[in-house]
Amino acid sequence: MIRKFFLKIIPVVVLAAALAFVFRSYLFASYVVEGESMEPTLYDGNMLMVNKVVYDLSDVDRFDVIVFHANKQTDYVKRVIGLPGDKIVYKNDKLFINGDYVEEKFLKPYKKVSAAEPYTEDFTLKGTTGKTTVPKGKLFVMGDNRDNSLDSRKFGFVSQDTLVGKVDITYWPVSQLHLSFAD
User: Which residue numbers are catalytic?
Assistant: 37, 78
Taking the C-alpha atoms of residue 177 and residue 171, their distance in angstroms, rounded to an integer, is 5
Q: Is the Cβ–Cβ distance between 78 and 106 less than 8 Å?
A: no
Determine the Cα angle at 159 with ends 97 and 111, to 5°: 40
Closest to 107 measured CA to CA, from 93, 121, 117: 93
- List, in sequence order, every residue forming a beta bridge with 140; answer none if it has no partner: 82
Q: Is the Cβ–Cβ distance between 70 and 37 less than 8 Å?
A: no
Element (H, E) at 154: helix 152-155
